[in-house]
A and B are shown apart, each in its own frame.
Chain A
C-alpha cells in the first residue's frame, strides 16, 4: 500500500484529478457547480501534467454541453478514453448523445455535480434532479457522498466502466461535496495505473473506428430488428455489479479503503431504516451514531450503485430485522407515485414484509440536518404518510413532517467557526487558506464550506469551518459555532450574527470602535446572548492594522491571525508560529521583505486584539434595522424581509408563487423604497412623446460595481420600458435581473413597465422569438375583432377611437397609449353590459395588445456567440420584429470568466490559460450578410448618443435586429472606475468597432452602413496595457503574449476592413 498522502481539497478537485488520470481527451463546457473540474483539467493540460499513460489530456472547450457530449461520443468511437464534466441543464443537453453512447456500449465516465434543474426558477444548488432525468439513457450511476469518495468512487467507476463497457455518470452533490474542502487521503497515479484493466483497454481500442478494420456503426434499423438490437445489451448490465464489486475489492487492497454498492450503517438489528444517496448519507450516518448511542434501533442503507440496480446486493445489504423503510429522494417527479429511489426500492423489495414510504428532502441544497434525520425516523415510528417532505413547511398540501428535536450530533471535540464577510473582502480566501494551514500542519480533519449572497457586489459571505480529530461527516451548515467572527460591522441589526453560538463561545468583531463602546453597539438580542451564554467578545481594528502594515484595504491577514489566536483550534502559540511558518513558505520566493511585512502584520494583529468588557446592568444597544420600509406591502414584509435577513428557509409553501411569477419594482425595497433617478443625459435623448421620462424602469441591479452591462439595459428599458417584454438568457443579467425575491425592473407611475422572463441559457433567441409570434398572433386577432366590432352596436365615439387605432396600428406615442387606455376601458364596459358576447370578451382578453409590444432578447456573449448561436442565427435570419441586445463582456462572466468565441485573441481566460488562440468572432458582420437584419455595434464610453440612436433604429426596424454592446467586466482585470476611459480606448485603438448597418437603406441612395467609430488614434497596446486579462499573459508567457498581440492587432484591422466593406452593399 502506498504511503498516505493527505490533501485538503474539494470534491471537484478530487474527481477531476481521477478523470484526468484515466482520460486521453476531455470535451468540456462551463456550468456551475461543475466548471471547476473542466478548469482544473484545462489548467493541468496547459501545465503538461501527465495522465497515467504519460501524456497530457487533450482538453477542448465546446460551444455547449450538447457539443461536449458529441465530441465525447466521437472521441470514444474513434478509440480514445474520453471524459466530461457537467451538471443540471448541461447534463440535459447531453442526454441525446448519452443514449447513443450507451446504446453503442462505449465505456466512459461523465462526472456530474448533481444540481437542481430550472423549473419554476433556475437554481445553481444541489439535488438529484439532473441525474435522475438521465435514468433511461442506459448510463450507469455511481454516487459519492463526500470528498474522499468523490476521488475513490470516481476511480472505481472509471475502471469498472472500461471493463463492463457501460458508460457511467459519477455524481456527487453540487455545492456540497463539489465545493466543500475536506482532508482526504490522495491516491497516486501509479496506484491507479496498477489497477488498469489493460485487456479491456485493448478491447476498447479494437472497437475504435479504424480503416485498417473497416466497420460501420449502424445508422438505422427497422421494426424487424431494432427491438432485438436493444435487448443485446442485457448481459452487460447484468454483469456490471459484479465488475464494480471486483474493483471495489481491488481498490480496498491497494488503498485500504473499502466500498460496497450498498452499505448498511447503524444498528444491525434495526427495525427502522432510511435509504438514501449522496452527501445526505453522511449526515444520516452521524445522526445514527448519536441515536444508536441513545438506544434507538435505527439504521440506513447508503446507495452507491444506482444503475445498473443490483437487486440481489441491495436486498442482501438490508438487515432481516427491518420492518419500516423511509426512502429519501433528492428530486421531485410531479405526478409520480413516488420519486425514483423510492420506486426502485419498492420494486426491489416486492413481497417482503416491510412497510416502505418515500419522502423528499434537500431540493436546491436545502439544508438536511440531524434534527431532520431524526424527524424521518420519528415519522417512520408513528407510521407516517408516504410522499412526505422534510426541511420545509408545507402548509398547503401538508406533506411536510415536523422537525422538533434540535439535537447536536457532532463529535464533542469538533471546533466550529463561522465568519461573516463582505463581498470580495478576502474573508473566504483567508478561510480557505486557514483550512490549508491547519489541514497540512496538523493531524486535524478539516471541513470548509462557503455561502454567498446573490448580489455580486457588497453582499455577505458566510464561511463555515470545522476542525476535528476524526473525519467530519456533518454535511450541513454550522448550526452551532464555538467561534463567530464578524468582519463587517454593518451587519449588526440586519442578520442574526450570533445564531448558534455555543455556551462560553468566542465572538470576534472587526470595528474601529473602542473596546468599552463595542457592547453598546450590539443589538439587545446579541447582548442578551453574550450575557446568557457567557460569550467572550474581542474587537480588532483590522483596517487600521492592515493599513499600517502596508496591506492596504485587505484585512484578511489581520482577521486570520485573530482567528488563529482566539478560536481554540490550536494552542495560541502553536497557532501563531504555524501561520508564520506558512507565510514564510508561501512567500519565500517573493523575498524576505514580503515575508517580513506579513510577519509584522501578524505580530501587530496579535497585539491589537482587545478584549471587550461586558458591562453589568442596562446599557445602550443598536436597533434592529428595517430591511424593507415600514409601510411596505405584504410581499415586502412577508417574503422580502425574511429572505433578506437570511430567514427564507422559514417561509412556508403558501407564501410562494405557484408558477414562479413575481412582482416587479421590488429592488428599491432594499433602498428604503426610494426610486432611482433617470440619468439626465438619457432623459435628453429620449424622443419626445414616446414614454414617460421621469419614471425609471430599471434600478439598483445587484451587479458588480462598474458592470458594463447596466448602462445599456438602462437605455433600452428607459426607451421602451412601458411596452416591452424581455427574454433574458441565463447569465449575469438574469441573476441581477431576476433573482428572488427582488428585481431591478420596475414600473412607471401608470403601473406600466417591462415584463421579464428567463427560459434557459441556450434557447433565449427562440424564447424571445416565441414571444414575438405570440404578440403577432394576438394583435392580428385583436385587429380582426376590432374591425368586426365596427359593425357592432357600440358607441360611435368608441368606433372613432378604434378606427384611429387601427389606422395607426404601429404608432406607440404617449397619445396613442392614452387613447388605447380609453378603448380598453370602453371594451371592459361592453363586456360588463354584454357578458354573453364572445367577440367582446375575446377582444377584452387581448386588449393589452392595442399598443405594439417591443420584444427584446437580452443575453451575454456566452449565449450569443456560443451556446445560443444556432438559435440566434435562425431568429435573425427570419423576418419577425425582434430586438437582440448582446451585452458583450467577452467571457462567460457569470460562471467565472471562461473563454467564449467573443474573447479576443491574446486575452487570458479560463479554458484559455495560454491566451485565447483564435480571434474574436465577427458576429455583427456575419448577421449583416443576411441583408435583412439590422446590426449595430455600440460603445457607451465613446458616444451615448450613438448608442441610443442605434437602439431606437433597431427597435423601429420592422424585422430582426441585433445590437452588440461593449461591456467591460471585472473579468477584464482592471479597476472598473476607469471603464469609461478604457472603453474609449477600446474604440480609439480600433479594437471595438462602432457602426450601424440598416438593411432598410439597401437599394436607396444611402449606404446601409454608418461607421460611427472615431479614427484610430492610439495603438492597440495602449488599450491593453491596464487590463490584466492581457497582462497576465505577458507576465506568465511573454513570448506568446507578444505573438498573440501582433495577431490581435491584425484581427482588429481585418475586422474594421471587413465591416467597412458593407458600406458598398
Chain B
C-alpha cells in the first residue's frame, strides 16, 4: 500500500507536507502551477511587500516626471495615472489560486498597521486558502526595545485576525529575546500556524573590491536543525501548527521536521539548486523511509521526538550544548551518519 503522506496544516488538508515557500519561484501564475505539477502539497505566494509597492509608485512617478515639460507643447506624455497599489499582485494571485487544486497561501509584509489589515483583506478576497504574515524585520533601530517590537507585531496580528476569516500563519525570525514566549503570546491570538524561521537579509563583503555584495541568500545543508529544535519545543505546547523552514533539502530532512512535531516544511533553496524535480525526489525518499520503517501514515510519527515525548529532556537543554562542545573533537572524528 502506498504510504500516506497527507498532513493537516493550518486547517488545510495537504497531500504531503512539502510546501513551496514564498519566493521568486512562487511569484507568478506559472510558478504556482509549476509547483503543483512538481507535486508540492501547497504553495505560499511570493510576499506582497508594501515597501516594494511604495518603491514602484515612486518609480512610476519618476518615469512620468522624467519625460515631462519637454517643450512648450509637451507638459508630459502620459495621462495622470495612479499606481494601482497591490492590485497587480492581487490580480495574479487570484488567477493563480483559480488555476491550481493544491492549497494556495498568500503572504504579506506590510509597513503600517493599517496596510497590514487592508492588504490582508484584499489578499483574502482573492480566494486564497490561508494567509502568512511575514514579519521580515531587520533590526536597525537603536531606540526601539524588544518589547516594543513584539507589541507592535502582536497588535498587527490581532488587528488582522479580527478582520479576516481564512486561517492565519505567522512567519517569524528567530531573533527575539525569547522566541518561545513571543510565539506563545501569538498563539493565544488564535493564529493557525507558525513558520519557523524567516531568513533575514544578509549582505556580504567582497574583500578584493572592498565593498558590500548582496549574494542570493540560500540556506545550507544542516540549517534545518534550528527549525526542528523549535518545532520540538513547541509541539503540544502551542495550539497552532508549526511549519519548519530553512535548510530542508531532502526527504530525510522532512522526516526530521515531522518527528520534531512540525506539520509541514517549506522549501525554496533546494528548488533553486536542483529545480522543481527535487520535490519528487524528496517525496520518494520519504516514502522509501516509511516503507523501511513499515509506516503507513506519516502523521503517526509527528512529534515523536518532540520535547514532550523524549525521555532525554537534556537534548533540548543548554547543558547538552555544553556537552557537545566538550565532545566536539570526538564527534568530528566519528564517521558521518
Which residues of A pack against B, CB within 8 Å? 32-33, 35-36, 39, 42-43, 46, 124, 175, 423-424, 426, 428-429, 450-456, 459, 461, 554, 587, 589-594, 704, 891, 894-897, 908-913, 970-971, 973, 1028-1029, 1032, 1034-1039, 1042
**Given that A43-B79, A43-B80, A913-B81 are contacting pairs, would A1039 and B91 also be in contact in the complex, using a CB cutoff of 8 Å?**
yes
The reply to whether B70 and A424 contact each other, CB–CB distance below 8 Å, is: yes
The reply to whether B71 and A454 contact each other, CB–CB distance below 8 Å, is: yes
The reply to whether B54 and A589 contact each other, CB–CB distance below 8 Å, is: yes
Contact of A591 among B55, B67, B72, B84 (CB under 8 A): B55
Q: Which residue of B lies closest to A457 (CB)?
A: B70
Q: Considering the complex of A and B, which 5 residue pairs feature the smallest CB-CB distances, nearest first?
A: A897-B77, A591-B54, A428-B69, A913-B79, A1038-B88
**Given that A42-B79, A591-B51 are contacting pairs, would A1034 and B88 also be in contact in the complex, using a CB cutoff of 8 Å?**
yes
Q: Which residue of B lies closest to A702 (CB)?
A: B71
The reply to whether B84 and A1037 contact each other, CB–CB distance below 8 Å, is: yes
Determine the distance from Cα of A593 to Cα of B74 in the docked complex, in whole angstroms. Answer: 32
Q: Which of B47-72 contact A (CB under 8 A)?
A: 50-51, 54-58, 60, 62-72
The reply to whether B69 and A896 contact each other, CB–CB distance below 8 Å, is: no
The reply to whether B77 and A896 contact each other, CB–CB distance below 8 Å, is: yes
**Given that A424-B66, A973-B63 are contacting pairs, would A1036 and B82 also be in contact in the complex, using a CB cutoff of 8 Å?**
yes
Which residues of B pack against A, CB within 8 Å? 50-51, 54-58, 60, 62-84, 87-88, 91-92, 111
Q: List 19 A-B contacts (CB under 8 A).
A: A32-B72, A424-B70, A429-B65, A452-B69, A455-B71, A589-B54, A594-B54, A891-B77, A894-B73, A895-B74, A897-B77, A908-B78, A908-B79, A913-B81, A970-B70, A971-B77, A1035-B83, A1037-B87, A1038-B84
Contact of B73 among A124, A429, A1035, A1037 (CB under 8 A): A124
**Given that A452-B71, A896-B76, A1037-B87 are contacting pairs, would A426 and B65 also be in contact in the complex, using a CB cutoff of 8 Å?**
yes
For residue A891, give the distance in angstroms from its CB to the closest CB of chain B. Answer: 8
For residue A373, give the distance in angstroms from its CB to the closest CB of chain B. Answer: 25
Q: Which residue of A lies closest to B73 (CB)?
A: A32
The reply to whether B71 and A459 contact each other, CB–CB distance below 8 Å, is: yes
The reply to whether A429 and B69 contact each other, CB–CB distance below 8 Å, is: yes
Determine which residue in B55, B56, B73, B111 has the highest number of CB atoms from chain A within 10 A of its CB, and name it: B73
Q: Which residues of A contact B80 (CB under 8 A)?
A: 43, 913
**Given that A426-B65, A971-B77, A1038-B84 are contacting pairs, would A452 and B51 also be in contact in the complex, using a CB cutoff of 8 Å?**
no
Contact of B81 among A175, A424, A454, A1036 (CB under 8 A): A1036
Determine the distance from Cα of A1037 to Cα of B71 in the docked complex, in whole angstroms. Answer: 29
**Given that A1028-B63, A1032-B60 are contacting pairs, would A973 and B77 also be in contact in the complex, using a CB cutoff of 8 Å?**
yes
The reply to whether B68 and A897 contact each other, CB–CB distance below 8 Å, is: no
Determine the distance from Cα of A976 to Cα of B320 in the docked complex, in whole angstroms. Answer: 65
Determine the distance from Cα of A1038 to Cα of B82 in the docked complex, in whole angstroms. Answer: 12
Q: Which residue of B lies closest to A175 (CB)?
A: B72
Q: Which residue of A lies closest to B94 (CB)?
A: A1039
The reply to whether B72 and A589 contact each other, CB–CB distance below 8 Å, is: no
Q: Which residues of B contact A589 (CB under 8 A)?
A: 54, 57
For residue A1031, give the distance in angstroms from its CB to the closest CB of chain B. Answer: 8
Q: Which residues of A contact B76 (CB under 8 A)?
A: 896-897
- The total of Cβ contacts below 8 Å across the A-B interface reads 127
For residue B22, give the distance in angstroms from its CB to the closest CB of chain A. Answer: 20
For residue B77, give the distance in angstroms from its CB to the closest CB of chain A. Answer: 4
Q: Which residues of A contact B55 (CB under 8 A)?
A: 590-591, 594
Determine the distance from Cα of A575 to Cα of B111 in the docked complex, in whole angstroms. Answer: 30
Q: Which residues of B contact A1042 (CB under 8 A)?
A: 91
Determine the distance from Cα of A1028 to Cα of B78 in the docked complex, in whole angstroms. Answer: 9
Q: Which residues of B contact A908 (CB under 8 A)?
A: 78-79, 81
Q: Which residue of A lies closest to B52 (CB)?
A: A591
Q: Which residues of A contact B71 (CB under 8 A)?
A: 452-456, 459
Q: Which residue of B lies closest to A552 (CB)?
A: B62
The reply to whether A591 and B111 contact each other, CB–CB distance below 8 Å, is: yes
The reply to whether B78 and A973 contact each other, CB–CB distance below 8 Å, is: yes
Q: Which residues of B contact A894 (CB under 8 A)?
A: 73-74
Contacts A452-B69, A590-B58, A591-B111 known; list 10 others, CB within 8 Å.
A36-B75, A424-B68, A590-B54, A704-B70, A895-B73, A908-B78, A909-B79, A973-B78, A1038-B92, A1039-B87
Determine the distance from Cα of A857 to Cα of B74 in the docked complex, in whole angstroms. Answer: 25
Q: Which residue of B lies closest to A591 (CB)?
A: B54
Q: Which residues of A contact B75 (CB under 8 A)?
A: 36, 896
For residue B226, give the distance in angstroms from its CB to the closest CB of chain A. Answer: 30
For residue A911, give the distance in angstroms from its CB to the closest CB of chain B. Answer: 8
Q: Which residue of B lies closest to A36 (CB)?
A: B75
For residue A1024, give the distance in angstroms from its CB to the closest CB of chain B. Answer: 15
Q: Which residues of B contact A913 (CB under 8 A)?
A: 79-81
Q: Which residues of B contact A124 (CB under 8 A)?
A: 72-73
Determine the distance from Cα of A46 to Cα of B82 in the docked complex, in whole angstroms. Answer: 12
Q: Which residue of A lies closest to B51 (CB)?
A: A591
Determine the distance from Cα of A589 to Cα of B83 in the docked complex, in whole angstroms. Answer: 11
Determine the distance from Cα of A704 to Cα of B70 in the docked complex, in whole angstroms. Answer: 9
For residue B68, give the distance in angstroms from its CB to the closest CB of chain A. Answer: 6
Determine the distance from Cα of A1028 to Cα of B111 in the docked complex, in whole angstroms. Answer: 27
Determine the distance from Cα of A913 to Cα of B64 in the docked complex, in whole angstroms. Answer: 13
The reply to whether B57 and A424 contact each other, CB–CB distance below 8 Å, is: no
The reply to whether B56 and A1035 contact each other, CB–CB distance below 8 Å, is: yes
Q: Which residues of A contact B67 (CB under 8 A)?
A: 424, 970-971, 973
Q: Which residues of B contact A39 (CB under 8 A)?
A: 79
Contact of A1032 among B62, B74, B81, B91 (CB under 8 A): B81
For residue A622, give the distance in angstroms from its CB to the closest CB of chain B. Answer: 28
Determine the distance from Cα of A157 to Cα of B56 in the docked complex, in whole angstroms. Answer: 44
Q: Which residues of B contact A591 (CB under 8 A)?
A: 50-51, 54-55, 111
Determine the distance from Cα of A1042 to Cα of B80 in the docked complex, in whole angstroms. Answer: 20
The reply to whether B54 and A429 contact each other, CB–CB distance below 8 Å, is: no
Q: Which residue of B lies closest to A1034 (CB)?
A: B88
Q: Which residue of A lies closest to B58 (CB)?
A: A590
The reply to whether B66 and A1035 contact each other, CB–CB distance below 8 Å, is: no
Contact of A1038 among B60, B65, B91 (CB under 8 A): B91
For residue B285, give the distance in angstroms from its CB to the closest CB of chain A. Answer: 38
For residue A361, give the distance in angstroms from its CB to the closest CB of chain B. Answer: 21
Contact of A452 among B72, B77, B84 (CB under 8 A): B72
Determine the distance from Cα of A764 to Cα of B62 in the docked complex, in whole angstroms. Answer: 37
The reply to whether A1035 and B60 contact each other, CB–CB distance below 8 Å, is: yes
Q: Which residues of B contact A1032 (CB under 8 A)?
A: 60, 63-64, 78, 81
Q: Which residues of A contact B60 (CB under 8 A)?
A: 1032, 1035
**Given that A424-B68, A589-B54 are contacting pairs, would A897 and B84 also be in contact in the complex, using a CB cutoff of 8 Å?**
no
Contact of B69 among A33, A461, A590, A1038 (CB under 8 A): A461
Determine the distance from Cα of A43 to Cα of B82 in the docked complex, in whole angstroms. Answer: 11
Determine the distance from Cα of A35 to Cα of B73 in the docked complex, in whole angstroms. Answer: 9
Contact of A897 among B66, B78, B82, B88 (CB under 8 A): B78
Q: Which residue of B lies closest to A1029 (CB)?
A: B78
Determine the distance from Cα of A428 to Cα of B69 in the docked complex, in whole angstroms. Answer: 7
The reply to whether B58 and A594 contact each other, CB–CB distance below 8 Å, is: yes
Q: Which residues of A contact B50 (CB under 8 A)?
A: 591
Contact of B77 among A594, A970, A1037 (CB under 8 A): A970
Determine the distance from Cα of A451 to Cα of B70 in the docked complex, in whole angstroms. Answer: 11
Determine the distance from Cα of A554 to Cα of B65 in the docked complex, in whole angstroms. Answer: 11
**Given that A424-B69, A1035-B84 are contacting pairs, would A897 and B74 also be in contact in the complex, using a CB cutoff of 8 Å?**
yes
